[in-house]
Each structure stands twice: as structure tokens, then as C-alpha cells.
Amino acid sequence: MSAARSIAVALVAAVVVVGSAAGAGLLGVGQQSTPEQSVEASAYSPDERVVIADEETGQIEVGGDESKVVLIDTVHGNDIGEDKLSAMVSALSAAGHEVRFTDRDARRGSEFNATLRQADVFVVISPERPFTQAQLNGVDAFTDAGGRLLLADDPQTPSFSFFGFPGDRGSSAPGMAALASQSGISFQDGYVYNTGTYDSNYRSVYATPGGGFASDVEQTTFRNTRAVTVRDGTRLLVTGEGAELSTTRDSGQYAVAVRSGNVVAVGSTSVFATDGYQNEANEEFTSALLTFLVTGDKRPSNAPAPSEDGRERTGGERPPRA
């Protein structure tokens, strides 16, 4: 690895902290405050104060032989506090991959797609602002060409009914529905809980492998997770029997991680957050997830490429669902 490359890898390990928008601490009616406050995505701007991520990355092991560029979305009002990203950024950087964050110029469709063109992996967490049609077309072309996409959307902080039972009916992040639906994926409203079998509390549910690259993972723990559905894809991790959905109270086995072609969606960032991945099974899933993301083969490498009339192409034939 060249000296310049070494410096780049060291720099991307820096995770930006602090800095939140006015009103970020306000809570909606019926919500409870939490000790973990979200950090506005703009806090990841290079001109903001930075804190070097802890060198300890647990047992996360990222496979793959080639160095890839991982782009993390920050221009759609994303809820990406340090606790959600530091372990992922550190593990990817330690494995020789370059982690970048979108800048303010990427809010425009053409600039966004030009930035995406340089990446091999795209990570989107809880986007509060919708993607434009040009951006959606760009992401579609990106995954069609073999680029890997990770979608994650945490439930909102719950409200409680008079008797103390979970009562949150929060919908998924406003910018997520259209983006996920392009791959036949949907994040369900509310959250999954289990009052019979759980880890530390009823919202810390257990999930076991359903197939795909998570087949060898043991029982994982998802704290505060949405249920995720997929059409013509794979349910990677599924909750045990007795889990319920807060919006319907229906009991069943809910998928909390799914795959559709080059796209993976997880219902909670807790599985790879700083205090979650240290669970041995969570480490296994996070390792498998990151390895999947960086072992894609994007061709052409400059996808999404602009068409002759200046509009972004939507890509060619979709890869097989898996």
C-alpha cells in the first residue's frame, strides 16, 4: 500500500462527532427521551470537529481481496450518530477499504450520481429527506451494474399506552420507501418485540439465520428493530416464534434482515453499532454483511453513467434475486 493510500485509510477511520441541527433534541408527542441522541448527518463534513475512532474493532473480519470505495449517504437528513458508524468505518478501514461521506454538493441529482459513480458500495441509514427521481435512477443503475447497497432504518423512539404497553406506530424514514421499493423491499411500520423470549428487554429480540450469506451465523440480537419484507429475495435473519409487530400486535416470525440481488436491508443498526456488534453472533453477521458488501464487482465501474441527453440512465437488466 502506498504512503498516500496509507494516509487515506488512516483519515477515513476518523468518525465525525458532535454537531446537531436546531431542534434535534425535540421529542414528538408521547415519545420518551433517550441517552443516545442522534447526530445530524452534516456533522460528518470534513470541516467539523473530528474524533478518531477507537482502534478496537472487536472480532469483525472483513473478507475480500480488492480495496473498495464505500460511500455513506449524509445528504438526506440521515440519522447516523457515531455509535452507528464507528465500528463499521473502523473495520472497513482496517481491511484496506476507503470510506467516504457524501458532501453538500451531492444533494443535486447530477452531482449525487457523479459521486456515486466513484463508489463500489453505498450505505444509506434512515434518510429523512426523499431521493429525487434522478438520484433513484442513479442508485438503480448502480446496483444493476453490480454495486452493493446497504439500507438500514431504525424505528422511532416509542410512545407508550396508558397501561405501559408499546404503542409506537412510527412509519419508516420518509426517504426510505421509494429507495427500498426499487428492489422489492419494504420496511414495516412500528417495531418488533417479544414479551416472552428476549435479551435485555422486550425490544431486544433474537433472530436466527433464514438463508443466504447469514446461513452460518448463530443467534443474533436486534435491539429496537423494524420488520423487513422482500419480494423475490432472501430472508437473511428471522425472529423466533412469539415475536409481535407493534402496529398490529400480530404474532409471527419476522425478517429483520433481507437480501434482494445486490441490496441488503436491515431493520436496525444495533446489530453493527458499537455496543451491539461485540455480541459474538452479531460480530459474525456484521463480518458476513461487510464481506458481502465489498466483494461485489461493479461493471461498468463508472455506473451510473449519464446518457447522451444528460439524464441519468436507469441501468440494464437486473441481476438475479438471491
* Residue 79 and residue 34 in contact, taking contact as beta carbons nearer than 8 Å: no
**DSSP 3-state of 93:** helix
Would you give per-residue pLDDT tens digits along the chain (322 residues)? 444 333 333 333 333 333 333 333 322 323 333 322 333 333 344 333 232 233 334 578 999 889 999 999 999 999 887 778 888 999 999 999 999 999 887 787 688 999 999 999 999 999 999 999 999 999 999 999 999 999 999 997 544 443 344 444 367 788 999 999 999 999 999 999 999 888 888 899 999 999 999 999 999 999 999 999 999 999 999 999 899 999 999 999 999 999 999 999 999 998 887 665 567 889 999 999 999 999 999 999 889 987 533 454 444 444 455 5
- How far lies 307's CA from each of 90, 134, 138, 165, in Å? 36, 12, 11, 53
Give the list of residues 6+ apart from residue 280 with CB closer than 8 angstroms, or none. 59, 218
Q: Which of 98, 47, 97, 104 is nearest to 74 (CA)?
A: 104
Q: What is the pLDDT of residue 245?
A: 95
What's residue 82's pLDDT?
72
User: Do the Cβ atoms of 82 and 39 come closer than 8 Å?
Assistant: yes
- The pLDDT of residue 201: 87
88/166 Cα distance (integer angstroms): 30
Reported pTM:
0.76
**What pLDDT does 107 receive?**
80
Q: Which fold has domain 3-19+35-294?
A: Rossmann fold (3.40.50)
Please tell me the number of Cα atoms within 13 Å of 145 on its side-chain side: 25
Residue 29 is predicted with a pLDDT of: 29
CB neighbours (10 Å) of residue 89? 23
Distance CA 314, CA 138 (A): 6
Strands 243-245 and 192-193: antiparallel
